[in-house]
Amino acid sequence: MAAGAIERASIGNGIELAYEVFGEPDDPPVLLVMGFGAQMLGWPDGFCTALAARGLFVVRFDNRDVGLSTHLHDAPEPDIAAAFAGNTESASYTLSDMAADAIALLGALGLDSAHLVGASMGGMIVQAAAIEHPARVRSLTSIMSTTGDRRVGVATREALGALLMPPARTREEAMDRAVAGNRVVGSPGFALDEPALRDRAARSFDRAHDPKGVARQLVAVLASPDRTSGMRGLRMPALVIHGREDPLVTLSGGEATAAAIPGAELVVLDGMGHDLPQALWGEVTGRIAALVERAERAR
């Protein structure tokens, strides 16, 4: 159940995705999709090994424009201020393109389908994948995410400020920012693990520091449509997990997601904000594994 080496898959359109696997390839496959600006390290090793220990074959990867995957350095300059004002002409891609990346990665791994798990922007990506590529998605787990309806999941002013802090310029500053940001958006019901946050921020900075790539991802979110009507047509087993105290994507976003997907299970976790505290790994991985088991039985 140990992690494999970082590998890379060419998925077309000049995009190469870096990925890592945990567990046994014969077990049901679970693809983990991380959120805005975060690398695959946002799914901690311990979380991935806990999933693998439940009999799952786990794949985590860097989305385009972060980590060791392709960065679109020649793309147009992303204009975040204009995108927030409703002008998304500077978008180089949308969440649908990122969903297509995830589905193409499955193909590169020889998988006809998988159970998709996404956190925050990753939840938006797996929602889009399920809508646009339903035959490739065995089940859907959306964590601390929302539908694309701008009226739900609205961030608090403090959380939005933390999200939009100017990019770090140094490794040390990146570590400090990670801790400061988590104090605003993290889980108030659980202890803040400063050493883990600083370590992950340092490793992420060393792997790739590309503020414009992160900005392109944010504009992609803002340029993507409301997925509510598309989710109403989904027919695969679905799980929505949300923190009751999430200030970045507030609880109404998770509630709206679960309401849109027929038969979706909504799990609201007290004390959880916009992160995955280690104390909740057992609960979250257990819920995912139960959904996978139910979906596998129904195949």
Q: What is the CATH number of the domain that holds 12?
A: 3.40.50.1820
* Residue 81 CB contacts under 8 Å (≥ 6 apart), including other chains: none
pTM of the model: 0.97
Structure tokens at 123: 């939840």
pLDDT at 299: 85
* Chain segment 191-222, per-residue pLDDT in tens: 999 999 999 999 999 999 999 999 999 999 99
- Please state the domain count of the chain: 1
92 belongs to a structural domain: yes
Question: What's the Cα-to-Cα distance from 263 to each of 117, 139, 233, 234, 258, rounded to whole Å?
Answer: 17, 12, 11, 9, 8
Instruction: Enumerate the β-bridge partners of residue 57.
Output: 29
1 belongs to a structural domain: no
Q: Give the integer Cα–Cα distance in Å for 270 and 201.
A: 26
Q: Give the integer Cα–Cα distance in Å for 204 and 208.
A: 6
2 belongs to a structural domain: no
Residue 54: give the domain boundaries: 7-298
90 belongs to a structural domain: yes
Instruction: Report, as ranges of residue numbers, the positions in the chain whose pLDDT lies below 50.
Output: 1
pLDDT at 109: 97
24: left (phi over 0), alpha (psi -120 to 50) or beta: beta
Q: How many CB atoms lie within 10 A of CB 123?
A: 29
pLDDT at 3: 64
Q: Give the integer Cα–Cα distance in Å for 102 and 108.
A: 10
pLDDT at 64: 98
